[in-house]
């Protein structure tokens, strides 16, 4: 099982390294696709930023929900006594 995770991690690492190196090489050279690549990288960055903000918002909503449930359970337990 651990060997499978290691292989998957290794594959993801190699893929990421190749894509990063290839992108850097293209951005450093003067190609026709440089503008498209920059736009795509900007979109990727913004999506990553939005994802982090959305996770934060989701966490806050989950905490509010948990607080509401616990307060309802407490009030029910006090009225049942």
| pLDDT tens track for 21-71 | 998 888 888 888 889 999 999 999 899 989 889 999 999 999 998 888 888
Number of domains in the chain: 2
DSSP tag of 63? H
Give me the pLDDT at residue 71, please. Answer: 83
Tell the residue number behind the tokens 């099982």, with chain if given.
1
Shared domain for 67 and 54, answered yes or no, is yes
- With 80 as the cut, is the pLDDT of residue 74 above it? no
**Are 37 and 47 within one domain?**
yes
In sequence order, the 6+-apart residues with CB closer than 8 A to the CB of 27 are 34, 37, 38
Please tell me the predicted confidence (pLDDT) of residue 10: 96
Report whether pLDDT(81) > 60.
no
What pLDDT, on a 0 to 100 scale, did the predictor assign at position 14? 96
* Same domain for 73 and 53: yes
Which two three-digit tokens encode residue 75?
Answer: 């009030």
Instruction: Report yes or no: 37 and 27 within 8 Å, Cβ to Cβ.
Output: yes
Can you give the pTM of this predicted structure? 0.58
Say whether both 39 and 69 belong to one domain. yes
> What is the rounded distance in angstroms from the CA atom of residue 65 to the CA atom of residue 73?
12
Structural domain span for residue 22: 1-30
Q: Do 56 and 77 sit in the same domain of this protein?
A: yes
What's the CA gap between 66 and 71, in Å, rounded? Answer: 9
């Amino acid at each position: 099982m651990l060997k499978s995770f290691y292989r998957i991690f290794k594959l993801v690492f190699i893929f990421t390294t190749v894509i990063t190196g290839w992108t850097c090489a293209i951005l450093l050279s003067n190609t026709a696709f440089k503008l498209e690549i920059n736009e795509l990288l900007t979109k990727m960055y913004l999506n990553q930023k939005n994802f982090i903000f959305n996770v934060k918002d989701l966490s806050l909503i989950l905490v509010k929900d948990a607080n509401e449930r616990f307060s309802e359970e407490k009030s029910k337990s006090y009225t049942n006594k």
